[in-house]
Amino acid sequence: MTIASVNPATGETLATFTPHGDAEIEARLAAAAAAAAGWRRTPVAERTALVARAAELLDERREALARLATLEMGKTLAAARAEVEKCAWVCRHYAAEAAGMLATEEVATDARRSFVRFDPLGVVLAVMPWNFPYWQVFRFAAPALAAGNAALLKHASNVPQCALAIEAIWRDAGAPAGLFGALLVGGARVAPLLADPRIAAATLTGSEPAGASVARAAGESLKKVVLELGGSDPFLVLPSADLDRAVATAVTARVLNNGQSCIAAKRFLVHRDVYEPFTARFVAAMGALRMGDPLAPETDLGPLATPAIRAELQAQVERSVAAGAHLLLGGSVPAGPGCFYPPTVLAEVPLDAPAAREELFGPVAPLFRVDSLDEAIALANATDFGLGAAAFTTDPAEQERLAAELDAGSVFCNGLVKSDPRLPFGGIKRSGFGRELAAFGLREFVNAKTVWIG
């Protein structure tokens, strides 16, 4: 098992790390457990002050953090800066709101006084992916620490430097020793950690196999787990849509983060009345994207994060074409170094082709022509996933129906599906369970404790 930073734009190895062994893991776990015991007794105002200080450090370190993410996983520098800014936002949000979310709730019963307290659970193990190497961690950590928990981070093995940079932020913000620790370990270390009584709960953001494995291990030891898994979000374009806006948003929704986002639009369902103009404009806009060095300001699309991800995407495209899909743009691996994959558009995609059924983690857009709103909703829901859904329609009645009938954790009308600290985020079906962000996210890792005083 290696833990290495490899620049996906060049193939150059930037740094390698020796994975933590048994003694190091034990030391970090013991430190986290000790920190959790003290932190739960620390006043909420002190806990939120730490989260606010983390926001300041994120602002101060924005350029260095952004560059590091670009070098380690290939997102454009502009996207990396925006990610660091969003992390500061989520910290500020919980710094301001957590005390209210954690306030005791009085309930009138037969007791002299009865109320609900929100107590922390203890040490939460966070298993995180590389695609938003800061955001995924901070959106969990800001509410979890504000609520009085400690955290152990097992980050993806290709972003160890980001993991250590996050650990440094919490340490430098003044967190008690051990309150937030990074473990440089592979996935095989997760199940034994979950069996340890000092770990109270877990959260995983990542693929379905990783989610199933962590859910199994958490189930064995009867521990709470939140899972944020993959998606195959539909993007519906209906006859009343503002096509300029729909096309521009469709391109962003597919290629944001070099196409490697759980809530990227991954299936484009276009009504026959607007199919031809939408397709022509979408293909032109995808074809105009500039692929190249993610550090260069003019670049729209950087490399995929690893050679394995590119190989899998290319195989999905090839199998879809073999099944009958038409290639309208892209579709072949460019020569030269780096894990680049071009903007690709597929049309006439058979419903059993990989591009219709599997998650496409890269800048590949399958188009589907639909004849009616009913067909659009049925096809949108014909997936094992249920993370987000976007629909472009200016008809309020259609918006109401879509909000009610699309099977997803979120529905965005006339806009990009995105996470926002003020709104809950998560999925249904094979996209996972539990919620992050807003009060829902903070309350995943608390004990809603009933107190009855006669």
The encoded tokens of residue 21 equal: 């062994």
Instruction: Give the nearest distance from C-beta 182 to ligand NAP in angstroms.
Output: 11
Considering only the stretches 247-255, 285-293, 372-380, 426-434, report the one whose residues sit in contact with ligand NAP under the rule CB under 6 A: 426-434
Q: Pick from 213, 279, 299, 410 the residue near ligand NAP by CB under 6 A.
A: 213
Nearest to 321 by CA among 268, 366, 254: 366
Output 378 or 428, the one with its CB closest to ligand NAP.
428
Residue pair 408/386 in contact by the 8 Å Cβ criterion? yes
- Should residue 130 be labelled a site residue for ligand NAP when binding is judged by CB under 6 A? yes
How far is the CA of 194 from the CAs of 143, 152, 224, 366, in angstroms?
21, 11, 10, 39
Region binding ligand NAP by CB under 6 A among candidate stretches 11-19, 161-169, 203-211, 330-338 = 203-211
Judged by DSSP in three states, 205 sits in: strand
Minimum distance of ligand NAP from residue 361's CB (angstroms): 6
Q: How far is the CB of 229 from ligand NAP (least distance, A)?
A: 5
3-state secondary structure of 62: helix
Handedness of CA 315, 262, 77, 285 (dihedral sign): positive
Q: Does residue number 363 form part of the binding site for ligand NAP (CB under 6 A)? A: no
Closest CA to 138 of 71, 213, 75, 57: 57
Nearest to 156 by CA among 184, 192, 190, 118: 184
Task: Check binding of 383 to ligand NAP (CB under 6 A).
Answer: no
Q: Residue 386 Cβ, how far from ligand NAP at the closest point, in Å?
A: 10
The region of 9-17, 162-170, 210-218, 368-376 touching ligand NAP under the rule CB under 6 A is: 210-218
Q: What are phi and psi of 347, to 5 degrees?
A: -125, 170
Taking CB under 6 A as the rule, does residue 230 contact ligand NAP?
Answer: yes
Q: What amino acid occupies position 320?
A: S
Catalytic residues, by residue number, are: 228, 262
279 or 419: whose CB is closer to ligand NAP? 419
- The residue (of 293 and 358) whose beta carbon lies closer to ligand NAP is 358
Check residue 127 for interaction with ligand NAP (CB under 6 A): yes
Q: Pick between residue 187 and residue 307 the one whose CB is nearest to ligand NAP.
A: 187
By the rule CB under 6 A, 364 interacts with ligand NAP: no
The only residue of 157, 232, 258, 410 in contact with ligand NAP, by rule CB under 6 A = 157
> In angstroms, what is the minimal distance from the CB of 298 to ligand NAP?
27
**CA–CA distance, 422 with 83 (Å, rounded to integer):** 16
Query: What are the tokens at 226?
Result: 């939140």
Contact 159, 4 (CB under 8 A): no
Judged by CB under 6 A, which stretch of 20-28, 60-68, 394-402, 424-432 contacts ligand NAP? 424-432
Interface mask toward ligand NAP for 173-192; x: CB under 6 A: -------------xx--x--
C-beta of 70 vs 431, nearer to ligand NAP = 431
Element (H, E) at 193: helix 190-195
SS3 337: coil
Are 122 and 149 contacting, i.e. CB atoms less than 8 angstroms apart?
Answer: yes
Among 9, 156, 225, 347, binds ligand NAP (CB under 6 A): 156
Considering only residues 341-360, where is the footprint of ligand NAP by CB under 6 A? 359
Q: Which two tokens stand for residue 358?
A: 């599997």
262 binds ligand NAP (CB under 6 A): yes
Q: How far is the CB of 419 from ligand NAP (least distance, A)?
A: 8
Question: How many residues are there in the chain?
Answer: 454
Q: Is 205 in the site for ligand NAP (CB under 6 A)?
A: yes
- Total residues at the site for ligand NAP (CB under 6 A)? 30
Of 47, 81, 154, 271, which lies in the binding site for ligand NAP, with binding defined by CB under 6 A? 154
How is 214-247 classified by DSSP, letter by letter? HHHHHHHTT-EEEEE----EEEEE-TTS-HHHHH
231 binds ligand NAP per the rule CB under 6 A? yes
Kindly state whether residue 206 participates in binding ligand NAP, applying the rule CB under 6 A. yes
Number of residue whose CB is nearest ligand NAP: 206
In the complex, least distance from residue 100 CB atom to ligand NAP, rounded to whole angstroms:
25
| CB < 8 Å & 24+ apart, contacts of 46-51 | 47/98, 47/145, 47/146, 47/147, 47/148, 48/94, 48/95, 48/96, 48/98, 48/99, 48/146, 49/95, 50/145, 50/170, 50/173, 50/174, 50/175, 51/91, 51/94, 51/95, 51/98, 51/142, 51/145, 51/146
Bridge partners of 25, per DSSP, are: none
Binding residues for ligand NAP (CB under 6 A): 127-131, 136, 154-157, 186-187, 190, 205-207, 210, 213-214, 228-231, 262, 359, 361, 387, 427, 431-432
